[in-house]
Amino acid sequence: MTETIAIASDHAGFALKGVLKLELESLGYAPLDLGTHDTASVDYPDYADKLAQAIKAGKAARGVLVCGTGIGISIAANRHREIRAALCQDVTTARLSREHNDANVLVLGGRIVGEEVARECLKAFLATPFAGGRHVGRVAKLAKP
Dist CA 87 CA 103 (whole Å): 10
Active site residues: 100
CA distances from 45 to 37, 65, 71, 75, 145 (A): 15, 11, 11, 9, 21
- Omega before 2 within 30 of 0, i.e. cis: no
Dist CA 19 CA 104 (whole Å): 20
Structure pTM? 0.97
Tens of pLDDT along 84-132?
999 999 999 999 999 999 999 999 999 999 999 999 999 999 999 999 9
Dist CA 56 CA 117 (whole Å): 29
Tens of pLDDT along 20-65?
999 999 999 999 999 999 999 999 999 999 999 999 999 999 999 9
* C-beta of residue 9 within 8 angstroms of C-beta of residue 110: yes
